Amino acid sequence: MATSDGSTKADGIDTTPRVQRAGLPPAIDFGPTSTFRFIAAGGPGLPDFYEERDQRGDGAPLHSHPWPSWELVIEGEIRVLVGDDEHVLGAGDAIYLPPDVPHTYVVESETAHLVGMNMSNGRFESLQRNAAPLFSGDGAPDMEAVMALAAEHDVNLIGPPLLPRTG
């Protein structure tokens, strides 16, 4: 069944083949140390597919959202808290994060490269794109603005990010 944009759908899933060339999606910078690049921004039946490059200490606040997500560590080491369980992931390790489960992570190595995918219906890409300017200035971001933006995208900010281990 063809849609108005010419794509086809089967059971609500886009069946149009797509090619995304390397380096074409613009980077989304979160200050000087964290960058997201969306290979594909999700939508109805399409996943958000992205890569993330971070430095030691980068991470997300403890949060939850109503969509599943997967992360694959390409290089480096991250520590992830999912619910009450903590995991250390290195190159080649992957983790599945179920919907509505609180989670956070921190980069433990000097640098990390991750690839992720989720089924947020485009909300995650929109959140990252719109939140980046809040993190681009000197000093801490306006957390009230961050929390309001997260809530608009169905993300519940619960607590602070993890800190990297010392030593």
Res. 9 pLDDT band, cuts 50 70 90: low
pLDDT (average), residues 93-122: 96
DSSP 17-33: -----TT-SPEEEETTT
**What is the token pair recorded at 68?**
């599943």
Looking at domain 28-159, does it have CATH number 3.40.50.300? no
Nearest Cα to 75, choosing from 30, 39, 111? 111
Q: Quote the mean pLDDT of the chain.
A: 88
68-78 per-position pLDDT tens digit: 999 999 999 99
Q: Is 10 left (phi over 0), alpha (psi -120 to 50) or beta?
A: beta
22-55 per-position pLDDT tens digit: 666 788 888 788 999 988 888 888 899 999 999 9
**What is the token pair recorded at 125?**
């890409």
Provide the pLDDT for residue 145. Answer: 93
**What is the token pair recorded at 7?**
């794509």
Reported as half-sphere exposure (CB side, CA atoms, 13 A), residue 81 has a value of 20
pTM of the entire predicted model: 0.85
